[in-house]
Amino acid sequence: MSYRELTQREATVLRTLTRGLLPHYVRMLRKSGVRYRDMAAALNCTESTVASIAAQGRPVVARQRVPVGFAGYLRQLRDEQDPDLNAVLAAAVERGWTYAALGEALGVSPQAARTRAVRGSSTQRSRGEYIPTPTTGAHDD
């Protein structure tokens, strides 16, 4: 890895970031070639402290992909304006699907998928269709 100097702006951002965002920014700077030593000087701490900051943060979660068949079923319910769509979404969330994956399958935002699922959780009229178990990666069916 070739190293580069920490810019004045990057040093300012390092000093002003909140605790939750700092680990992500430190990792980003490290990937761009900034040494822990330079970040430590900007933060007025040791290199080992910067390394431990970089190790903090939540783990990266693999992205879920709704199987093609299930995504088609959700879109069919949406196109038919079937009132059971909300209940099916609520059941899918209970099964472990993320709002982002369900929203992507429907062509809407995760927030819109969440709104529909919350509405469906109060009715729970799902017709008992098979809802697949969430997995990560692409699926053909």
pLDDT tens per residue across span 6-43: 888 888 887 777 667 788 888 888 888 888 888 888 88
d(CA 68, CA 139): 7
Amino acid at 26: V
Specify the length of the chain in residues.
141
* Overall domain count for the chain: 2
Domain that holds residue 111: 68-123
Domain identity same for 51 and 72: no
Higher pLDDT among residues 7 and 77, named by residue:
77
Domain identity same for 22 and 43: yes
Whole-structure pTM value: 0.52
Cα Rg of the chain (Å, integer): 22
- For residue 44, pLDDT beyond 50: yes
Higher pLDDT among residues 79 and 123, named by residue:
79
